[in-house]
């Protein structure tokens, strides 16, 4: 069974640009969550989607947004990039909605560098 | 104060040693407790997942949860150089996948 895939794996952007990252969950999984990982802050929750609906959101500015498609694939978008947005962006998938409390499986991440 | 505290290490041990990794937390609403292993430039890999207080064993790994003390541990027996990685604890309340992670402990097992 294929794992969580994320594209692209590496990305370099400049301040002010916007970026879109993609995540394909494990086949059959319908829940996707996004996290930002930085050396200083560690892993921080961005948002969670199930059946195309955002169920939870972390404490990030509105420049960070996401969506989920009917095939469970998800994208996250960061507009007006800042230097501090440089991070590893991780996607995690699970089978059911958060009420079922099944565990999450992470993808390899997209490493974003903002210059 | 952070909701989850984890000693960042680094922790260096000889091959074959028993490793103890720990996290403390302050939010009594946390009900689910996970340990992930992350190799350099990879995504976190789930090691252990537990709900109740007590011990859970899987091969060389044992997860321990003490909800009364708000303290969780991961023990690695017969540690191997391949165990060298960053170990992250994570926890969440019921009903959300909004995991709160510790900062991670870097472990190095010396051959």
How many Cα atoms are found within 13 Å in the side-chain-facing hemisphere of B1? Answer: 7
Chain A residue with minimal CA distance to B48? Answer: A103
pLDDT at residue B60 above 60?
yes
Q: Each residue of B46-59: pLDDT tens digit?
A: 999 888 788 899 99
d(CA A90, CA A110): 7
Peptide linkage before A26 cis (omega within 30 of 0): no
pLDDT at residue B45 above 60?
yes
d(CA B8, CA B102): 9
Q: Each residue of B69-83: pLDDT tens digit?
A: 999 999 999 999 999
Q: Which residue has the tokens 């989920």?
A: A68
- When comparing pLDDT for A113 and B95, which is higher? A113
> Would the CB atoms of B96 and A48 count as touching at under 8 Å?
yes
Q: Which residues in chain B have Cβ-Cβ distances shorter than 8 Å to A56? A: 96-98
Return the residue in A90, A101, A102 with the most chain B beta carbons within 10 A, the one to mutate for interface testing. A101
Residues A112 and A45: beta-carbon distance below 8 Å: no
Do β-strands A87-94 and A42-50 pair in parallel, antiparallel, or remain unpaired?
Answer: unpaired
Q: What is the pLDDT of residue A98?
A: 61
Of A42, A94, A109, the CB nearest to B43: A109
Chain B residue with minimal CA distance to A87? Answer: B41
What is the block-wise mean pLDDT of chain A (115 residues), using blocks of 10 residues? 91 97 95 93 92 92 97 97 97 76 86 97
State the SS3 of A38-73. Answer: ECCCEEEEEEEEECCEEEEECCCCCCEEEEECCCCC
Q: Which helix (H) or strand (E) holds A110?
A: strand A110-114
Q: What is the pLDDT of residue B35?
A: 95
State the SS3 of A64-89. Answer: EEEEECCCCCEEEEECCCCHHHCEEE
């Amino acid at each position: 069974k294929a794992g969580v895939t994320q594209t692209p794996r590496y990305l370099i952007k400049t301040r002010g640009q916007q970026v879109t990252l993609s995540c394909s969950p494990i086949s059959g999984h319908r829940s996707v969550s996004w996290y930002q990982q930085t050396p200083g802050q560690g892993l921080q929750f961005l948002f969670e989607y199930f059946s195309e609906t955002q169920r939870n959101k972390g404490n990030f500015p509105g420049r960070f947004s996401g969506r989920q498609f009917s095939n469970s694939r998800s994208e996250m978008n960061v507009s007006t990039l800042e230097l501090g947005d440089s991070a590893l962006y991780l996607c995690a998938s699970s089978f059911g909605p958060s009420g079922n409390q099944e565990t999450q499986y992470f993808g390899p991440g997209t490493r974003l560098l903002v210059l | 104060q952070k909701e989850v505290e984890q000693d960042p290490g680094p922790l260096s041990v000889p091959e074959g040693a028993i490793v103890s990794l720990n996290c403390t937390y302050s939010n009594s609403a946390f009900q689910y407790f996970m340990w992930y292993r992350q190799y350099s430039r990879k995504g976190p890999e789930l090691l252990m997942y537990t709900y109740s207080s007590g011990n859970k064993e899987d091969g060389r790994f044992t997860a321990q949860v003490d909800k009364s003390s708000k303290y969780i541990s991961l023990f690695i027996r017969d540690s191997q150089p391949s165990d060298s990685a960053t170990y992250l604890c994570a926890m969440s309340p019921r009903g959300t996948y909004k995991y709160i992670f510790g900062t991670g402990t870097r472990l190095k097992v010396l051959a």
